[in-house]
Amino acid sequence: MPLFGSKPQQGRLDALLQEISLGAGDDRTVRQLQELAAGMSEEEVKSLADALMANLVKYPDNIAVLTTSVKALAVLPSMPEAKNEFIIALILSLLKAPVNKKDALQRKSLKTEIVKLLLSFVYRDDRYAKLMMPELIAAMDDTHGSISSSVCSALRRLAAERPEYFERHSAALIKHLGSINKSTRAESAKIIGIIAKSHPEYVSKAMPFLQSLASFYPDAHVKRNANEAYQIIWKGTRKEPETPLVNRSTASFGLGFADIVKLKSGSATGIPKAQFTDDEMRDVVELTRREFKSDAEAILNPLGIGHLAVKGKAEKALKGDGRDKQHSPKCPRCGKATWTEGQLCDNCAGAEFDRNVAGGHE
């Protein structure tokens, strides 16, 4: 049905819609469509949105058509709430489409446009965010920095104003603490801290991982955010006042790594244990363990024991100090050299860490 009484305007609109349906649309097409939509009534905008959504259904494998149609939907004036919810449900279904190697790059561009469109709905009314929380949290770790930055900004606002939206999605947020992207680790810790100000019970499962990052992670931004989030959760979940976080100096001069492992698992402090599924626990432990291995030298150098980051160097270092090999500190489990009497070696401490963290799931 024609949307314009004017034939030239209607002809221009038909031509633009045809470009999009043929996969020939571009940013110029979207701009011209936006200009036409600005002069439409609410009913006409709804009809135009229907035409664009029809493309999403008719051409599910044509990435060019899908991408331009999503871009066009993003520039339309706001529509009645029922129509918005239908559009959100439809575009979320596009994110579930299987990706193959041939169209991986194009699908990534499509995902970027979908996230932009989702954010536009959240900016209009943050109640729409409840419909798309898993997708927004997943987009935090997107490789496109500008998009992930916008997503994190929106999630920080939601954490402050709509913390209840995170109740069923905290596990996905906590898994980002193990991201290979340092900024994602820092942002997820920041959002967890904001949620904990009003609902610490939603994110109490993050405590052992926040403590690991705050105690050992070499990046200052990540450490600071993790420490702040940990302290907020601690204060919100503990009844009696107590100093919760073991800092690096305490770990060096008062406690051994095995003692810190006990703190991480909650056995020494009464910290609530993490209740992850087996798969989630394996994912986070593997990410954390891998990061600790790769950053071992950066972690140990400030303590003056960087030589321990390289296997086989401990014995040489001890000899170089003029110490009698017979009196060198030994690991109480395997007998390998360590730097403190009664201290576990790296391998045994790592195994103890995995066992105690996994114990939080039981």
**What's this model's pTM, rounded to 2 decimal places?**
0.65
The per-residue b/e assignment along 34-64, b for 16 or more CB within 10 angstroms, e otherwise, is eebbeebeeebbeebbebbbebbeebeebbb
Q: What is the pLDDT tens value at each position of the chain, 362 positions in all?
A: 465 556 667 888 999 999 999 999 999 999 999 999 988 888 888 889 999 999 999 998 899 999 999 999 999 887 767 788 888 999 998 888 776 667 777 888 889 999 999 999 999 899 999 999 999 999 998 765 678 889 999 999 999 999 999 999 999 999 999 998 999 999 999 999 999 999 999 999 999 999 999 999 999 999 999 999 999 999 998 754 444 454 444 333 333 334 444 444 444 344 444 455 666 566 655 655 555 555 555 555 555 555 555 544 444 444 444 444 445 677 788 887 765 566 667 677 666 666 655 554 44
How many CB atoms lie under 10 A from the CB of residue 8? Answer: 8
For residue 334, the model assigns a pLDDT of: 83
For residue 271, the model assigns a pLDDT of: 42
User: Which residues are CB-contacts of 312 (< 8 A; sequence separation ≥ 6)?
Assistant: none
For residue 316, the model assigns a pLDDT of: 43
Alpha-carbon gap, residue 58 to 179, rounded angstroms: 37
Q: What angle do CA 37, 71, 181 make, to 5 degrees?
A: 150
Q: Are 8 and 46 in contact (CB under 8 A)?
A: no
Overall size of the chain counted in residues: 362
Alpha-carbon gap, residue 203 to 221, rounded angstroms: 20
Shortest CA distance to 213 belongs to which of 197, 230, 199, 201? 230
For residue 313, the model assigns a pLDDT of: 42
For residue 340, the model assigns a pLDDT of: 59
Written as one string, the DSSP assignment of 238-294 is -SS-------HHHHHHT--HHHHHHHHHTTTT-PPPP---HHHHHHHHHHHHHHHHH
Q: Are 63 and 97 in contact (CB under 8 A)?
A: no
For residue 107, the model assigns a pLDDT of: 83
User: Which residues are CB-contacts of 279 (< 8 A; sequence separation ≥ 6)?
Assistant: none
